[in-house]
Amino acid sequence: MSLSQLKREILESMYMHGKAMDPAEIAVDTKMEVKRVNLNVLGLIRIGYASSPEKGKYTITKKGKNALGVPDTDRQKAVTILSYASDDKPFVFYVEIGKPLDTQALSLRDFADKLGNVDVASIEFHVNRKDFETWANGLGDSELAKRIELLRLRSLVGEDLRRQLFEIVEQRFVELTALAGQTGPPQQPTPA
């Protein structure tokens, strides 16, 4: 089934954030009117691409993810992604080519933690070069890579970019720990 551009943007918003959202949140994120979001979400529910896990909140379904071309993540894959830690190939943060920072991440948890403190110019640099997407794919997490791609396409900068990237990575970490049957450390506060 072919999706209209509006429905695709709504699905991408729900997917990118990885959590149940109310129509007002989706409207802000997609820059649509709430009424238009409501109508399109109802259509997405009818075709099985979205669901309502709680009153007034909506989330993308497995069928909706498949419509966006996102592969499934099973328990074993979640365990593999979470166990990735390499001293040989850490993610090294740069502020520009040839100017590394004294900051590197060895795992997804470590990456989320570092996003809150690294120079925002470094985040902008890596997002624009698709470095975070490449690193997530290297972890084996094509879902996270797709979410970061969707964020990159929004052309955010500064603290808005940092906040949304942190939320995406943190939410993905929570999803993966749940899929893997692990209990992760308490969720870190969102950076300012």
Class of domain 5-67: mainly alpha
Single pTM value for the model:
0.81
Q: At which residue do the structure tokens 């939410």 appear?
A: 171
Per-residue pLDDT of the chain (192 residues; tens, 9 = 90+): 578 999 999 999 999 988 899 999 999 999 999 999 999 999 999 999 999 999 999 999 999 999 998 888 899 999 999 987 666 678 999 999 999 999 999 999 999 999 999 999 999 999 999 999 999 998 889 999 999 999 999 999 999 999 999 999 999 999 999 999 976 443 443 454
Distance CA 86, CA 170 (A): 20
Domain boundaries, the chain: 5-67, 75-180
Strands (E), the chain: 50-54, 57-60, 91-96, 99-105
